[in-house]
Homo-oligomer: A and B are copies of this chain.
Amino acid sequence: MAHNLSEFKLIHWIRQQSTQSHPDLQTGIGDDMAIMQMGGQQLLITTDMLLEGVHFDFETATLEQVGYKSMAVSLSDCAGMAAVPFIAVVGVALPKEMTMEQAKQLYQGLQKAAEQFNCPIVGGDTTRWDKPLAIDVTMLARQGKHPPVHRSGALVGDIIMTTGTLGGSLAGKHLDFTPRVKEALALTDLVTINAMMDVSDGISSDLRHICRESGVGAVIEAKSIPISAAVERSVNPLAAAMNDGEDFELLFTLCPENASILEQKWPALSDLKLSPIGRIIAADKDASDEGYRVFLKTSDKTITPLEPKGWEH
């Protein structure tokens, strides 16, 4: 569930409206997924609406790729909470000129991603209109061996880490990424992860979500950010790595002792790179924005506030 800033205002308003309480409900709008109690088990749910011209277009993507991405985005939400994908339902608004054959290609992409994680598509709603393609995937997940990891658990002193490399997703990765479901479960199996989410908006935005939900601040080090090969030769590789978004990597925090354990044990488990990129600091209660700030420390040792998508060299 990724949102731009104006949508956050709307979501904040929706949160306030929610006058209903439910004894079986734990986490509502704000995390990667909402959590419910169901027959003694934890059940998680997420929904993602993907739109032609916004999240994909058919000049650069095939129908199968679009289907794959639509499912993989929700799988990545499961990864962001270290939950096990269970089932998916798909609502689709097909453009009226789309042929049966084309609709099948779209579904093949959806199935391909779903099957990778043993998450069957159990239902759907298929409609047609004379407008572009819209796909909404809703996914249920179950707790794995360990409880789901929230955005709200970051503690002052935590190390901030990411998986993989960041930036340049539009060059192709946004259509063909592997949701980090297995890695998230492996991480929580090794150590306690205090806070986690998947990187959908870029770490300049997403780290702020963790800070806001946890009531903390953060400092990240420019030199530590793992920059994707896709942006190494771009005008501003660091800005691309922090702002491009749709990396679908994991962004998480853990105590320094656990970070050391992880760095020792991880290479035996996975080829996926882990990078410590900074530290969680105390929020500045006196700041006008409630102090849930992310700062960037550059090579010349200057520390400047990092605005969501706003950092330019």
* Nearest-Cβ distance from residue A104 to partner chain B, whole angstroms: 6
The answer to whether B11 and A126 have CB atoms under 8 Å apart is yes
- Contact indicator per residue, chain A 1-33, by CB within 8 Å of chain B (1) or not (0): 111101101110110011111101100110001
Cβ of A205 within 8 Å of any chain B Cβ, yes or no, is no
Query: If the complex has contacts A47-B91, A122-B28, are A127 and B54 also in contact, measured as CB distance less than 8 A?
Result: yes
| Contact for A89 among B24, B47, B121, B122, CB less than 8 A | B47
| Contact for A28 among B14, B18, B123, CB less than 8 A | B123
The answer to whether A51 and B91 have CB atoms under 8 Å apart is no
When chains A and B are docked, how far (Å) is the Cα of A118 from the Cα of B20?
7
| Contact for A39 among B17, B25, B40, CB less than 8 A | B40
The answer to whether A36 and B136 have CB atoms under 8 Å apart is no
Cβ of A311 within 8 Å of any chain B Cβ, yes or no, is no
When chains A and B are docked, how far (Å) is the Cα of A111 from the Cα of B36?
19
* Nearest-Cβ distance from residue A16 to partner chain B, whole angstroms: 11
Cβ of A177 within 8 Å of any chain B Cβ, yes or no, is no
Cβ of A92 within 8 Å of any chain B Cβ, yes or no, is yes
Chain B residue with the shortest CB-CB distance to A11: B126
Give residues of chain A (174-232) contacting chain B, Cβ–Cβ below 8 Å. Answer: none
The answer to whether B49 and A125 have CB atoms under 8 Å apart is yes
The answer to whether A87 and B2 have CB atoms under 8 Å apart is no
The answer to whether A92 and B49 have CB atoms under 8 Å apart is yes
When chains A and B are docked, how far (Å) is the Cα of A36 from the Cα of B51?
29
| Contact for A34 among B34, B39, B47, B89, CB less than 8 A | B89
Residue numbers in B under 8 Å from A266 (CB-CB): none
The answer to whether B111 and A17 have CB atoms under 8 Å apart is yes
Chain B residue with the shortest CB-CB distance to A104: B13
Query: If the complex has contacts A87-B25, A100-B10, A115-B19, are A36 and B123 also in contact, measured as CB distance less than 8 A?
Result: no
Residue numbers in B under 8 Å from A25 (CB-CB): 87, 120, 122
Cβ of A282 within 8 Å of any chain B Cβ, yes or no, is no
When chains A and B are docked, how far (Å) is the Cα of A86 from the Cα of B100?
34
